[in-house]
Amino acid sequence: MEITRRDMLSVGGKLLMIASVGATFEQITGAEPPPDTYRMADHWWGMIIDIDKCIGCGNCVRACSDENQVPKDYFRTWVERYEVPEGYVNPRVSSPQGAINGFPPSQQTSLKSFFVPKLCNHCADSPCVQVCPVGATFVSPDGVVLVDKDYCLGCRYCVQACPYGCRYLHPETETVDKCTLCYHRITQGLTTACCENCPTGARQLVDFKDPKDPVHEFLRENKVAVLKPNMATEAKVYYKNLDGSVR
């Protein structure tokens, strides 16, 4: 049978439609891909934060709270406002309710003011992981610090050991809770709730093992720093233009 150009186009078009519909269907429904498509060894997650882009709207805090059912008055992420009023050298810092509702207008005439989003730094050399007496908190092979809530004793040694104040005892489960970098999302190919809801792109989830990830360019081209580098925790949340006063 002779295949004409018309037949080729017809069959090819149909195949293309089926393929595209299939892909769209998966994207639209959010159907989970087969679990074996995510290989932990292929990833090494972290985050980059551009201080100059953060407007302190608190969207990230709200999104995180909703996505992860974070209990009231506890925070997996929060935003701090640093202000250096006229006549002062040291900044004044505030984070009302973790900035879940953003910030009220500043009452002061500031020489300098900026926002610093905070979250677990998913340290490669985590003091929290080191001190857990039963190994309930651990670094996953893809670089995320997680807590096994079915194993955690609730001793809170890790809370004491975290230099960044990122951990708390969940009042209902009575186990330690913290940012998971939205592990349930990132293993499905999605970004974190905080990054997805940041209107300015100040926060970006990055994969250090992905050679095409913009993090490599970001680290090459910008002046970046981690929080409390003296703690030597190998933090994986990098800040662009981080002021030296930030703790």
Q: Residues interacting with another protein, by CB under 8 A?
A: 73-75, 78, 80, 92-95, 97-98, 118, 127, 129-135, 151-157, 159-169, 173-175, 231, 247
The structure tokens 């670094």 sit at 139
Residue 14 to residues 34, 213, 234, Cα–Cα distance (Å): 25, 34, 51
Minimal distance in Å, beta carbon 201 to another protein? Answer: 24
Around Cβ 162, how many Cβ atoms within 10 Å? Answer: 23
DSSP codes, 138-164: EE-TTS-EEE-TTT-----HHHHH-TT
Closest CA to 113 of 164, 61, 59, 55: 55
Minimal distance in Å, beta carbon 113 to another protein? Answer: 15
Q: Could you tell me if 160 and 100 are in contact, meaning their C-beta atoms sit under 8 angstroms apart?
A: no
Which of residues 120 and 144 has its CB atom nearest to another protein in the complex? 120
Which of residues 206 and 237 has its CB atom nearest to another protein in the complex? 237
Which of residues 78 and 103 has its CB atom nearest to another protein in the complex? 78
Which of residues 95 and 187 has its CB atom nearest to another protein in the complex? 95
Q: Could you tell me if 207 and 189 are in contact, meaning their C-beta atoms sit under 8 angstroms apart?
A: no
Length of the chain measured in residues: 247
Minimal distance in Å, beta carbon 207 to another protein? Answer: 27
Query: Which backbone phi and psi does 233 adopt, to 5 degrees?
Result: -100, 0
Minimal distance in Å, beta carbon 134 to another protein? Answer: 4
Which of residues 38 and 157 has its CB atom nearest to another protein in the complex? 157
Minimal distance in Å, beta carbon 49 to another protein? Answer: 16
